[in-house]
Chains A and B, each alone.
Chain A
Amino acid sequence: MSADNRAGGTATWVYVAVAVAAVLIGLFLAPQAMRLTQGAGQDTPDSVAVVPVEGPITSSTADQISANLREVRRNDSIKAVVLDVNSPGGTVPASEALYLAVNRTTAAGIPVVASVNGQGASGAYWAMTPASRIYVTPGSIVGSVGVIGTQPAGGAAGSRIITGPDKGAGGTQAEFRDRVELLRRQFVTTVMNERGDRLELSREELSYAKVYAGAVAERNGVADEIGGIDAAIQRAAENADLENYAVTRMDAPEQPGLGLILGSQEAGRNDSGTRTVVVEQSPFDYEGVETPRYLALYGMPEQGEVRTDG
């Protein structure tokens, strides 16, 4: 009996010792196990995502880019973001929505760096201002901090009946002016707040809505550094403390009605070789209905009553 007990007691003690040893070894190996599963569900352990911001910023393209940024925030393997920008801007609502999406990404603690490849003007510049660094090439174009308002002529004519004096145009000319001024202030205030001390331009100088070549922008603080997309990726990785990382390029936004846009571009090509940018196709265009528009765009619309501010 006593021999059995002794044998059983010894066995229990040994079992406990073996289990404790297993736990200790397990804890030692746990980080490796965690890293294994971290990589298992995703392409790479750590990556820098390149999010293209290309073409005119419309509600459609802004939605697609915002979805990419949402994926960046959701995917833990993506540690940093590079905005690959080549856009003349677009509508004000789409641009400010895109700004909020980038702003939310930086607020989530994910480093964002912007790289301008070609032009990053007006609404595109607005959207990239939360980035910690803006990379430009000497010949790229940035800036154009201003807003264009286009408004149809108001009032009743012919057999049309409207229920109030401002139903057509949406308000008086003075109210239209004030609305555009509000948007200018929002844009300029955003740039001033986001760029802070790096910007060497005053509010008034910024409000001229000039575009700057990259080499000039780097000096006046509209951009930060001269460099291409690779320099921007490296900076983003450094900001995220990554030594080994992969680069994941997200899908570029698709322009809706591509055939229509290409057709318009061809039709809009004139002798001087300028190109027409289709910012937003109004859903009512086929009925000839003009709607007021507010554009954060580098370039002037061809038609419509226009008020610029800034």
Chain B
Amino acid sequence: MANLPRLVGVFALVLALVLVVAAAIPLLASPGGDANPRPQNPASFQPANIVPQDLGQNGSVSIDAGSDEKVVLIDRAHDNDFEREEIEPMVDALVAQGYEVRFHGGGGPGGAPRSAGPGSSSPLNSSLRDADAFVVISPDRPFTDAAQRGIADFAERGGRVALLGEPTSPSPAITSIFGPAPRSTATSQMTPLSSRFGMSLSTGYLYNMYENGNNFQNVYATASGDGPLTAGVDRVLFDRATEVAVGGDASVAVSATDRTALSTTRQQGRYPVAAVNDNVVLIGDTSFLTPANYQYADNEVLIGNLAEFLVSGEKEPKPKPTTERPGVPPRPGQPRPPSGGALPTNGSTPPTPVAP
């Protein structure tokens, strides 16, 4: 029995040894978790899954029209919201073909004279007299009634008119460094003019969440019908387009692709973006003219077609102003108001019946 303490000692020693080893295991087995982190490669971080497609830019503007001497007049007198460099591709192509490009108003060497001699009370109308085509881009100031009638008469006599506008609601996609405030308050002054030709611009912008040029506001549009704008145009890309409403004799020339939506209604559809009514076209976008955008898709073809449209008109010379116009009998009991009366008149341009 003398061995009993020794036996107890051995028992305690072995037991303690086992428990110490057991207790030490958790301490030894925690090597600090992240020592060898597994490399991560989520699918959404793979370039192949997320790099957007290259839209591709190529082509140049070409004009296939006669070599007659033609003058294209571009409006700068109505706070038009564009810089000259923004329409360079079209202007360069026109000039390269030998056509003359003039700017009306806005000052500078290209500006038209403020007054063009006796018998003219409207600088615009006197500028139009020497022009074969007239281009209006994003006017922020309204056209006077006389100017509107002058333009309508100009188109009536075979002069070509191109009206280009943008959505007037502020763009959510791009705002300038000074914010959208100045632009957002400006109301489009295009519709009062274009509605004379059965066309008008919407205020909202078009967007497409399904098929776009790497931004929801860069919408694609395709040609409709056989109008003067659509030859050779398969698909064009508009950076900031709006809907063109078409009525009367006007017909749709270019429509946005399926599932394009209008910002104001959020309704999807095939919205017209360009329309033609005889000698007048209305396009609900100006961005496709810019040097940055003109080579996307078939934009350069559309610009070429637009330029051809402008220089291929045959304008009749203006008839001498008379007190009684042939074909427009004065209404009985309603004499024409004298010059300088309540209604603004254009001394050289007789009033034109309002188109539908």
A binds B: yes
Residues of A within 8 A of B (CB): 11, 14-15, 18-19, 21-23, 25-27, 29-31, 33-34, 36-38, 41, 70, 73-76, 96, 100, 103-104, 107-108, 153, 172-174, 177-178, 180-182, 185-187, 189-190, 193, 204-205, 207-208, 303-310
Q: Can you list 5 A-B contacts with CB-CB less than 8 angstroms, sorted by A residue number?
A: A11-B3, A26-B17, A70-B33, A153-B177, A182-B52
Chain B residues lying within 8 Å of A187, measured Cβ to Cβ, are 44
A14:B174 contact, CB within 8 angstroms: no
Complex CA distance for A150 and B128, rounded to whole angstroms: 43
Q: Of B17, B40, B174, which contacts A104 at CB under 8 A?
A: B40
User: CB of B42 within 8 A of chain A?
Assistant: yes
Closest A-B pairs by Cβ, 7 of them: A26-B18, A30-B22, A22-B14, A74-B33, A190-B44, A189-B44, A204-B209
Using known A-B contacts A34-B22, A172-B292, determine if residue A22 contacts B43 with beta carbons closer than 8 Å. no
Residue pair B33, A14 in contact (C-beta under 8 Å): no
- B33 lies within 8 A of A73 (CB): yes
Contact, CB under 8 Å: A103 / B210: no
- CB nearest neighbor in A for B6: A15
Interface of A is mostly: helix
Q: What is the bound-complex CA distance between A74 and B30, given in angstroms?
A: 8
Q: Which chain A residues lie closer than 8 Å to B214 at the CB level?
A: 177-178, 181
Cα distance, A107 to B38, chains bound together (Å):
9
**A185–B40 CB distance below 8 A:** no
Q: Contact between B40 and A107 (Cβ–Cβ < 8 Å)? A: yes
B215 touches A181 (CB 8 A): yes
- Chain B residues contacting A41 (CB-CB under 8 Å) are 27
CA distance A38 to B28 in the complex (A): 11
Q: When chains A and B are docked, how far (Å) is the Cα of A153 from the Cα of B30?
A: 53
Residue of A nearest to B259 (CB): A204
Residues of B within 8 A of A310 (CB): 216
Q: Is the CB of A186 within 8 A of B45?
A: yes
Contact (A178, B40) CB under 8 Å given A14-B7, A19-B11, A305-B174: no
Q: Are B50 and A186 in contact (CB under 8 A)?
A: yes
Q: Could you say which of B14, B34, B210 contacts A23, with CB atoms under 8 Å apart? A: B14
**A176 CB, nearest partner CB in chain B, Å:** 10
B30 engages A70 (CB within 8 Å): no
B49: Cβ under 8 A from any A Cβ? yes
Nearest-CB residue, chain B, relative to A188 = B44
One digit per residue, 1 when the CB lies within 8 angstroms of any chain A CB and 0 when it does not, for chain B 249-267 equals: 0000000000000000000
**Neighbour of B42 across the interface among A174, A193, A303, CB < 8 A:** A193
Assess whether B25 is interfacial by the CB under 8 Å rule: yes
Q: Are A307 and B174 in contact (CB under 8 A)?
A: yes
**CB neighbours of A181 from chain B (8 A):** 52, 214-215
For A306, what are the chain B residues with a Cβ–Cβ distance below 8 Å? Answer: 174-175
Query: Which residues of chain A have C-beta atoms less than 8 A from B342's C-beta?
Result: none
The docked-state distance in angstroms from the alpha carbon of A223 to that of B58 is 45
Q: Chain B residues near A178: list those with CB within 8 A.
A: 52, 214
Does the CB pair A185–B52 fall under 8 Å? yes
Instruction: Give the Cβ gap from A130 to chain B, nearest Cβ, in Å.
Output: 9
Determine the chain B residues whose CB is within 8 A of the CB of A34 once the complex forms: 22-23, 25-26
CB of B173 within 8 A of CB of A26, answer no
Contacts A31-B22, A189-B50 given; 11 further ones with Cβ under 8 A?
Answer: A23-B15, A25-B15, A34-B22, A37-B23, A100-B42, A103-B40, A173-B292, A177-B218, A189-B43, A305-B176, A306-B174
| B55 in contact (CB, < 8 A) | yes
**Is B44 a contact of A186 with CB atoms below 8 Å?**
yes
Contact call B292/A174, Cβ cutoff below 8 A? yes
Interface residues of B in 77-100 (CB under 8 A from A): none
- The residue on A at minimum CB distance from B210 is A204
Smallest Cβ distance from A195 to chain B, in angstroms? 12
Given contacts A26-B15, A26-B18, contact A185 B50 (CB under 8 A): yes
